[in-house]
């Protein structure tokens, strides 16, 4: 089905995001050409935890590049008619690694930027209870998150997910994400060096700790969980 640019953009981040704080990155029936959603705040909005220079490069070069390459790869294929999320799931099932890598990185970064919107805000209610049950307390979650990030060899992502009734951490290499395992994503932290090296050099866990404590909108995380 043909959709207009306006509608695609609205489905990705605009009107839908305004109507609800629940994040649905890349969801909707928008098919190719896939479009990178606008950054939901100014490039310097995450400083000093993530500098404006890192955001400019990460959003403007890396994230943008995944969409450019994805559109080249899916042109004329069955994937061109799917939503971005469905391309991730289907290309993973099909073993189409080149398409999966670009689609998953597009989706991952849509999620990544959106989770900082309106932050910081502390976990509350049911989410806070599940974090306590799984990790003892918020500090325990942050510590385990940082350790999981350090344990990823090379490039990858660490995700907080819903695993049944529990919140749990999942680590993935490269472009991996919980969609491939049918799990709901709550928080996604990019541990590729481009995400932190300009600001933290080799201190990956320090970056993760600062971002989790100072930038994530945990109230929006709770809404995603519900």
Applying CB under 5 A, the residues found at the interface with Mn ion are 190, 192
No. of helices (H) and no. of strands (E), the chain: 11, 3
Contact 54, 195 (CB under 8 A): yes
CB of 191 to Mn ion, least distance (A): 9
Closer CB to Mn ion, 52 or 138, in the complex: 52
Nearest approach, Cβ of residue 83 and Mn ion (Å): 21
State how beta strands 166-173 and 156-163 pair. Answer: antiparallel
Question: Which is nearest to 187 in space by CA: 136, 139, 224, 148?
Answer: 224
Cβ distance to Mn ion smaller for residue 57 or 138: 57
Cβ(112)–Cβ(203) below 8 Å: no
Tell me how far, at minimum, the Cβ of 190 lies from Mn ion, in Å.
4
CB of 182 to Mn ion, least distance (A): 23
Residues 6+ apart with CB under 8 A from 48: 199
Closer by beta carbon to Mn ion, 51 or else 127: 51
Single out the residue of 120, 142, 157 nearest to residue 208, CA to CA.
142
For residue 10, count other CB atoms closer than 10 A to its CB: 18
Which residue number has the CB closest to Mn ion?
190
Nearest distance in Å: CB 63, Mn ion = 7
SS3 161: strand
Closest to Mn ion by CB, 108 vs 123, is 108
> Closest distance between Mn ion and the C-beta of residue 116, in Å?
14
Closer residue to Mn ion, CB minimum distance, 135 or 172: 172
- Residue among 135 and 192 whose Cβ is closer to Mn ion: 192
Helix, strand, coil tally for the chain in percent (to 5): 55, 10, 35
């Amino acid at each position: 089905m043909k959709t207009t640019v306006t509608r695609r953009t609205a489905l990705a981040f605009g009107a839908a995001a305004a109507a609800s704080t629940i994040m649905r990155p890349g969801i909707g029936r928008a098919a190719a050409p896939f479009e990178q959603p606008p950054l939901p705040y100014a490039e310097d909005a995450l400083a000093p935890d993530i500098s404006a220079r890192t955001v400019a490069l990460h959003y403007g070069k890396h994230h943008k590049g995944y969409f450019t390459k994805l559109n080249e790869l899916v042109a004329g294929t069955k994937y061109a008619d799917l939503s971005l999320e469905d391309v991730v799931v289907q290309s993973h099932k099909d073993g189409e690694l080149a398409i999966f890598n670009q689609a998953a990185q597009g989706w991952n970064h849509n999620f990544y930027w959106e989770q900082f919107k309106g932050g910081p805000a502390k976990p509350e209610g049911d989410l806070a209870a599940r974090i306590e049950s799984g990790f003892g307390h918020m500090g325990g979650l942050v510590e385990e998150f940082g350790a999981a990030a350090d344990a990823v060899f090379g490039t990858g992502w660490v995700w907080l997910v819903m695993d049944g009734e529990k919140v749990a951490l999942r680590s993935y290499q490269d472009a991996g994400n919980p969609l491939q395992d049918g799990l709901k994503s709550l928080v996604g932290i990019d541990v590729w060096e481009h995400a932190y090296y300009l600001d933290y050099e080799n201190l990956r866990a320090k970056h993760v700790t600062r971002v989790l404590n100072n930038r994530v909108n945990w109230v929006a995380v709770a809404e995603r969980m519900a």
